[in-house]
Amino acid sequence: MIRQNLTVRCKYGLHLLMASQIAKITTSSASAVHVRCRGCPQVNACSALRIMLLEATEGTPIEVTVEGSDEATVLKALEHVFEEGGGI
């Protein structure tokens, strides 16, 4: 299991495009992926809607937990999404 904090870098916060990209990565992986922020309950990262409900703004740290056979690959892909801000 890998647990890491990733920071929302996009000025628009964790928007729908980012949430969709995260859900797409996690849905196609063999690992279980969960996210949480600011004391919110942990949510399954396979759901863009649940990710959006975190209401994470720019600068918010998101705790990502990945557990499974491809956890390192999944985390690297998620890091890319957070660094690129979902392409916006």
Q: Residues of the chain with pLDDT > 90: what percent?
A: 91
CA gap 61, 2 in Å, rounded = 16
Q: Give the total number of structural domains in the chain.
A: 1
At residue 84, the pLDDT reads 87
pLDDT score recorded for residue 40: 86
Give 62-79 pLDDT, tens digit per residue: 999 999 999 999 999 999
Does residue 64 contact residue 75 with C-beta atoms inside 8 Å?
yes
Question: Are the CB atoms for 40 and 63 separated by under 8 Å?
Answer: no
1 in helix, strand or coil?
coil
Q: Is 34 a catalytic site residue? A: no
| CATH code, domain with 54 | 3.30.1340.10
* Host domain of residue 22: 2-87
Catalytic-role residue among 2, 13, 15, 77 = 15
